[in-house]
Amino acid sequence: MNMTPNFLSRAFRSLALPALACGLICAAAATAFGQAKETPRVDHWVFDEASLKNGVLTPAQGGQTAAILGQIRFSDDMGGAMMFDGVETTAQVGADITKVKLPESALTIEAWVRIDRAGKWGGIFSALQDNGDYEKGLLLGLHDSHFCFGLAAQSSTQITYLQSKSSYEPGSWHHVAGVYDGTEMRIYVDGVLNGSSDAQKGKIVYPPDGWVMLGAYRDKDEYYKLHGELREVKLTHRALSQQEITEAFKLRANMIPEGLILDAGPFIQLSKPSNATVTWRTQVPAARADLLLRPSRPKNLVQFGKHEDRMTYLYGHPPKSHTVELDSLDPNQIYTMTLYGPLQPDGPRSKARYEFDSSLNYAQEPGPAVAQPFGKQAVPDLFRHAEFPKQLRTDAGYALLLGAGDGRGAFAMARVSKLRVIAVEPDAAIADNARQLLDSVGYHGMRVSVWDKPLTGLPLGPYAMNLIVCESAIRDGKPVLKLEEIAKALRPEGGIALLSGAADDAGAMAKLKEWAAPLAAGQTGYSLQSIEIAGRSYLKITRGRMPGAGWWTHQYGQADNASTSGDKLITGSELDLLWWGRPGARPMPDRGARNPAPLAAGGRLYIQGDRILFGQDAYNGTILWSMIVPELRRTNLPRCSANMAADDDSLFIAARHWAARIDGDTGKIDPDKDIFLVPTPAEGNRKYEWGYLAREGKLLIGSSVRAGSFYMGDDGEWYDTPGAEDVGRITSDELFAYHKDAPRLAWRHRKGVILNSTITIADGVIYFIESRSELAAKATSGRLLKEVSDKQFMVALDAATGAPKWEKPVNLPGFDRMTYLSFTNMTLTVVGSSAKEYSIKAYDAGAGSDLWNTKFPISKDHHGGAIQHPVLLGDAIYCEQRAYDLRTGKLLRTDLPERRGCGTMSASASTFFYRHHHHGLWDLNTNKRLEFQGIRSGCWLGILPAGGVVLAPETSSGCSCTHSIQTSAAFVPRKAK
Amino acid sequence: MKFNGRSRFIGIAPFLLALAALAAAPCAASAEDWPQYRKDDSRSGISGDPLPAPLKEIWKLHPPVAPQPAWELEAKADKYSKIYDLTPRQTFDYAHHPVIAGGRVFYGSTSQDKVECLQASDGKRLWVFFTEGPVRFAPVVVGDRVYFGSDDGHVYCLEASSGKLIWKQRPVEQPDRRQPGNERMISAWPIRTGLIVREGMVYGSAGVFPSQGVWAVALKAGDGQVAWRSPVELTTLQGYGLASPGKLYLPAGRNNPVIFERSSGKLERIVEGAGGTWALLAGDQLVFGPGRKGELGNVEPGRSDQLATFSGLHMIVHQGSSYLHSRTQLSALDRTLYLKLASERRTIQAQHSAATERLKKLGKTPPADQARQLRETITSTGAQIDALTRRMGECTKWQVNCDNPYDLIAAGDLLITGGDNRIQAFAMSDGALRWTQPVNGKAYALAAAGGRLLVGTDKGTIHCFGDAR
């Protein structure tokens, strides 16, 4: 199905009808109108609880029932409405269209509807078949962000889809009506005429078979389900007048709840297996916070928990920030959460509704709350002391206890933390006893695993241990451990070992220091410290950053968009698995959907799923925290910029009109300190959302995008061929900088309309391309294409002050599909493509002078083959299957690896990663390529060479083909120490 | 007393013959036992023992920690293909699957890293054996031996009566290595198939990731020595294995099952289909799924393609009928007739496709005679296909609503279904609902033997039902 804006070009085809036919049709229409005036039939379905019995909706008028398919849920909006989940829920008036009484010559189809999520197509009422070459029937529905009214009559062989001029507001209630009087189609939104067409004339023509649906567009080929709500649908066999439509709108207009606009959030932190902490910030201080929580399956309500579904908090001093703890959540439930605005003296309160899926809660089960089985004085002093937890950077991950004894230390360690403990005991009988004791209180297995093995020569892979403890590291005056084993097992970026000798061995510390000294000699990344806990001395070995490790802090590596981490540890092609596991496919967007790449910094991996975030230990895969952010969604990155950035301590995210700083270890947000708002003021109907996001020095850089412009990709859109040249770019009206540690503006810049995909930061300078065309400035949307192809300038600003450094006009023909700007070695490259060829232009970053340009044919015009992002590494730019000298443009090679999939490449200092049939690797030094069979990534950038390891979160989600394994995984060079 | 060579041979022969017979049996369990996952190594899921009526819960075991499956549910939707609510294809460890042998119940734990033996009559623990990783698959009991694998990379053989270790074996040559996998510190080569014990051999697999090494393996049941080791490229091996007289069938996670020659380990082929770890051998036919949409495919011996697909998650094949179990329905099918019609349809379909292809190759202006002949073939074969499809649709004997999608077994003349917080029994003859029993959680693991019904749930509870009198 294809359609042009407002109404279809195909609608005009009927104008060529012979005059005789037109006359006949007009006569027929007049007759129909006359008949309708006498006894118009009305079918009226009201979607409230009172009308539903045993899954069947009894109509308020007309006698034609509707069977509800899928989950049934109601909201209290508009006096009661049914929620349609976009997946299962629909209402079927009939599976045989010939048995449903449908209007013949004139009609009005009206609905009160709320659209929560846009789709390419959607249905409110459908009775049609549209094959492209066979089009008949009737539709009231939506197309992208507009309502549409489709109809085929005798005068045409095709359906005219009349589209409303105005777009609907997601999450808001609208009255929409389609009217056909036999000669003209009209569409009304909220009582106002929003479009008309005279392309159809005569009796309505329906297909001979098919469905009549409410809340869905369904024919033999397509089934688009509504994601939103319906209050009522009314089908009148007569064309209502403008006045009647307006009256129908006014009848319920006063019940439309105002949408609650939050300052930021909500953030739903999944802190415990059956708990969630909800945080949000209101725009003005509120004297009360109201939250309504309802499960999707009412039959499970009994499991919902001990609290009421509605929570109200009253404050003495009205705050803007609100936090509510939800407990006893069903672990496998879709919840609908409604936040309410201030009480209104008259009319409904403003509210905002969100969904979250509690099955995505990966918080670790605590050990059973039981009495310990070791007697009163059993727990070793170390683990009882308040100082012990303080030594840990986080209390989650893996711990190795060398010398487990009867398991009491391991038990204590597990009780005071979320660590999974590997307790090693060389004596088999003692080990078995420890297992029995731990099992008796439910701690063996998930929390503590006991290995009856010697303390050395353990079969451990590298980097896994956040904590290693041995309180008998010196025996008979000699170290009993192997230093290189301890060093290798420790997690970089903060893993610690606490080692001591026997409590009465006064010389143990000196011996341990001597033994461990080689670790700290030179630039090794290890440090040694003597500490005292509970009166006992411990040697503390801390493993810091591995020398040569590079991180992936922005969408394309760094803010320079070079798609490299610079990591020098990932070399060669011999990699082993380091870890695998969650998150799996469930929380991820379909095939990655060209959404923001995962990021990695400071030993953590940050993954953006479908409106959910995960903070993960990069070295052992432990999920440190997870948080549902219902507003966090962005796709089509080749025409946009990402909504995440990271540094060693924090992750920054952007959604709607705000950005937030999240603590990297805990996932916590302080809503009073960690929220940054778009500073660009609204101009009439033009409001702004946060676009670009980067961390630069002590600043957080952002940009303002006209609201409603971002691609959401919820319906499996790929923005690939065909039509890749017509996909608009996300643009910004303003660049700005905040101090990253406090929401205080540093500078603002506004001149042209900036292409977000070009914003690049390197060496303290921000580079971008902007258009200064009037068309771009005046456009209503920030999703622009031709408007920004004119009057383009490349601009360089001082990142610290926002002051201009240089600018120059640029001419970029042939950059129809995308425009990427990247920086390396004082060279800026612009990469784009047209339908036939790639274009590269290179500039000197110092003053913007031209260096070289080239074009080459695209080799694969599908699966992202023509929108590849380049990799800039050393003195070369690698794009699609070619490499050019960065400064001269000399073609260096044309033998880059073939990629079967639709992703784009990433690189360490010497190795490239990409999606082929499986995860693919290309070693630049040896030209060797290989694949990790059975596992593959998604449709944009999903493999990060960072921190000395290769991080590959699950991004193939949604692909239902039979590749064996869908999991997040990490790989490590075989020679890793 | 002196023995000559002959008399010595004669004296030992009966013992050896008995031993050989024992080893040759698919499993040395009595008719009243359910000694491995789904009763036998065809995974038939059929107990000949009728269940008493009324049933009563005799005991239940509720461990302190719920099972910890390796893999979570599939993605929510394949939006590109417009498939919503994808069916999970790897549910083999969503509950602890109990087995019953010699008046004892055995189960392995994914969260407490152990195998436990309980007294079947009252649930009292008889012994426990710990491993260094999750035990994801039900043990196999053969005589006084219990075999199972663990994520710690070892295959274990215990004495069934005491739980004492007889042998343990790492079936791969690589040095042991442990690393975080599925949120646990496990072997780089965990045992991820439910074992098969047949004719003195233990069959299974080791490894998850092909690039890291995945092997189908055969160990000698007596001492655990490796008999053969067969590398697998491109796919994982995960799920409960199956065996026929000559073949070994190993599910491959989300992928399609792999067939090996049982005597040598030679990889024969990967069958075609939409993947999944649930599998059944109905005679010499492999049935597996549930694919993306909840479909079971039927693969004939010697072939890779699917003769037919059935809408369903589980199947019982009994006396010429298939009992199919979908998310919402339970039905009985005349299997013999259905497969006969499906075979005919496949033949006609091949003719239809060949004619269509030939016509296409003739181009836009084909010779008239040839084109007419081909069109006639296409039309007539099309009509035959439609007629056969209609007849296949008429093979359903009965169909009832059944909202218990997690497991299906047969006991006596009943079909037992596992649902959400309940199990229900239906008559095999007409699908009539006979009884409902509440359970704690989703009933993923059903087993029946000796008049007892065991139910394992996703919350870890094992219920034992028996005679209420």
Return mean pLDDT, chain A: 89
Q: Taking CB atoms and an 8 Å cutoff, what residues of chain B touch A432?
A: 130
Q: Flag if A715 and B254 touch (Cβ within 8 Å).
A: no
CB contact, 8 Å: A803 with chain B? Answer: no
- Residue B423 contacts residue B386 (beta carbons within 8 Å): no
Q: Nearest-5° angle of CA A456, CA A458, CA A460?
A: 140
Q: Which residue, among A300, A451, A936, A962, would best test binding to B if mutated, counting the most B CBs under 10 Å from its CB? A: A962
CB contact, 8 Å: B78 with chain A? Answer: yes
The per-residue pLDDT for B30 is 52
CB contact, 8 Å: B163 with chain A? Answer: no
For residue B428, pLDDT over 80 is answered with yes
- Per residue in B357-405, pLDDT (tens digit) is 999 888 888 888 999 999 999 999 999 998 998 898 899 999 999 999 9
Given pLDDT bands bounded at 50, 70 and 90, which one contains residue A378? low
DSSP A810: E
Q: Helix axis angle, B335-361 relative to B368-393, nearest 10°?
A: 160
**How far is residue A662's CA from residue A674's CA, in Å, rounded to a whole number?**
7
CB contact, 8 Å: A88 with chain B? Answer: yes
Kindly state the average pLDDT of the residues A197-225: 93
Q: Within chain B, how many helices (H) and strands (E) appear?
A: 3, 38
Q: Flag if A965 and B254 touch (Cβ within 8 Å).
A: yes
The per-residue pLDDT for B31 is 56
- Per residue in A912-960, pLDDT (tens digit) is 999 998 999 999 999 999 999 989 999 999 999 999 999 999 999 988 6
A590, A963, A965: residue with CB nearest B75: A590
The residue length of chain B stands at 469
Given pLDDT bands bounded at 50, 70 and 90, which one contains residue A569? very high
For residue A2, pLDDT over 50 is answered with no
Q: Phi, psi at residue A796, to the nearest 5°? A: -125, 125
Q: Taking CB atoms and an 8 Å cutoff, what residues of chain B touch A220?
A: none
Q: Taking CB atoms and an 8 Å cutoff, what residues of chain A touch B133?
A: 449
Q: Taking CB atoms and an 8 Å cutoff, what residues of chain B touch A934?
A: 209-211, 234-236, 255
Kindly state the average pLDDT of the residues A901-920: 93
Listed in sequence order, the residues at least 6 apart from B3 whose beta carbon sits closer than 8 Å to its beta carbon are B11
- Residue A273 contacts residue A368 (beta carbons within 8 Å): no
Given pLDDT bands bounded at 50, 70 and 90, which one contains residue A364? confident
The per-residue pLDDT for A695 is 97
Give me the interface pTM, i.e. the ipTM: 0.90
- Per residue in B76-99, pLDDT (tens digit) is 888 888 787 789 999 999 999 999
* β-sheet bridge partners, residue A218: A223
Cis peptide before A266 (omega within 30 of 0): yes
Kindly state the average pLDDT of the residues B113-126: 97
> Chain B residue with minimal CA distance to A618?
B180
Kindly state the average pLDDT of the residues A136-158: 92
Window B:230-259, CB contacts with A under 8 Å: 233-236, 252-256
Which residue has better confidence, B129 or B369? B129
Q: Taking CB atoms and an 8 Å cutoff, what residues of chain A touch B130?
A: 432, 435, 439, 444, 450
Kindly state the average pLDDT of the residues A392-414: 92
Torsion from C-alpha of A893, A895, A901, A906, nearest 10 degrees: -50
Q: Which of A198-207, A408-417, A535-544 has the lowest mean pLDDT?
A: A408-417
A439, A460, A461: residue with CB nearest B112: A439
The per-residue pLDDT for B240 is 98
Q: Flag if A577 and B212 touch (Cβ within 8 Å).
A: yes
Which residue has better confidence, B256 or A375? B256
- Residue B142 contacts residue B133 (beta carbons within 8 Å): no
Window B:337-376, CB contacts with A under 8 Å: none
Kindly state the average pLDDT of the residues A790-816: 96
Q: Flag if A577 and B188 touch (Cβ within 8 Å).
A: yes
> Chain B residue with minimal CA distance to A582?
B182
Torsion from C-alpha of A39, A43, A48, A51, nearest 10 degrees: 90
Q: Helix axis angle, A408-415 relative to A428-440, nearest 10°?
A: 40
CB contact, 8 Å: A591 with chain B? Answer: yes
Given pLDDT bands bounded at 50, 70 and 90, which one contains residue A7? very low
C-alpha dist (Å) from residue A440 to A371, B66, B464: 10, 15, 22
pTM score of the predicted model: 0.89
Residue type, A26: C
Window B:113-142, CB contacts with A under 8 Å: 113-114, 128, 130, 132-134
Instruction: Report the SS3 class of residue B176.
Output: coil
Given pLDDT bands bounded at 50, 70 and 90, which one contains residue A38? low
Q: Nearest-5° angle of CA A878, CA A883, CA A885?
A: 105
Distance from CA of A238 to the nearest CA of B (A): 36
- Per residue in A421-459, pLDDT (tens digit) is 999 999 999 999 999 999 999 999 999 999 999 999 999
Kindly state the average pLDDT of the residues B415-423: 96
Torsion from C-alpha of A662, A668, A672, A677, nearest 10 degrees: 30
For residue A298, pLDDT over 60 is answered with no
Q: Taking CB atoms and an 8 Å cutoff, what residues of chain A touch B85?
A: 87-88
DSSP A787: G
% of chain A exceeding 90 in pLDDT? 69
**How far is residue A698's CA from residue A696's CA, in Å, rounded to a whole number?**
6
**How far is residue A7's CA from residue A15's CA, in Å, rounded to a whole number?**
14
Window A:685-724, CB contacts with B under 8 Å: 714-716, 718
A311-320, A351-360, A526-535 — most confident range: A526-535
CB contact, 8 Å: A401 with chain B? Answer: no
Q: Flag if B112 and A442 touch (Cβ within 8 Å).
A: yes
Q: Which two tokens stand for residue A819?
A: 């425009």
B71, B112, B132: residue with CB nearest A584: B71
Kindly state the average pLDDT of the residues A768-776: 97
Given pLDDT bands bounded at 50, 70 and 90, which one contains residue B1? very low
Listed in sequence order, the residues at least 6 apart from B178 whose beta carbon sits closer than 8 Å to its beta carbon are A458, A459, A460, A461, B132, B152, B185, B186, B187, B188
B109, B234, B235: residue with CB nearest A445: B109
The per-residue pLDDT for A535 is 87
Q: Which residue, among B76, B107, B235, B401, would best test binding to A if mutated, counting the most A CBs under 10 Å from its CB? A: B76
- Residue A918 contacts residue A910 (beta carbons within 8 Å): no
B68, B80, B252: residue with CB nearest A716: B80
- Per residue in B210-245, pLDDT (tens digit) is 999 999 999 999 999 999 999 999 899 999 999 999
Which residue has better confidence, A629 or A31? A629
For residue A889, pLDDT over 80 is answered with yes
**How far is residue B70's CA from residue B416's CA, in Å, rounded to a whole number?**
26
The per-residue pLDDT for A144 is 79
Kindly state the average pLDDT of the residues A123-151: 91
> Chain B residue with minimal CA distance to A87?
B84
The per-residue pLDDT for B93 is 98
Kindly state the average pLDDT of the residues A111-125: 89
Which residue has better confidence, A188 or B85? A188
For residue A81, pLDDT over 90 is answered with yes
Given pLDDT bands bounded at 50, 70 and 90, which one contains residue A393? confident
**How far is residue B375's CA from residue A961's CA, in Å, rounded to a whole number?**
34
The residue length of chain A stands at 977
CB contact, 8 Å: B304 with chain A? Answer: no
Q: Flag if A398 and B180 touch (Cβ within 8 Å).
A: yes
Q: Which of A4-13, A277-286, A400-409, B149-158 has the lowest mean pLDDT?
A: A4-13
Kindly state the average pLDDT of the residues A585-599: 92
Q: Which residue, among A425, A449, A576, would best test binding to B if mutated, counting the most B CBs under 10 Å from its CB? A: A449
Kindly state the average pLDDT of the residues A238-250: 94
Distance from CA of B126 to the nearest CA of A (A): 14
Q: Which residue, among B81, B127, B172, B183, would best test binding to A if mutated, counting the most A CBs under 10 Å from its CB? A: B183
A460, A578, A958: residue with CB nearest B79: A958
Q: Which residue, among A88, A332, A573, A964, would best test binding to B if mutated, counting the most B CBs under 10 Å from its CB? A: A964
Given pLDDT bands bounded at 50, 70 and 90, which one contains residue A377? low
**How far is residue A928's CA from residue A921's CA, in Å, rounded to a whole number?**
8
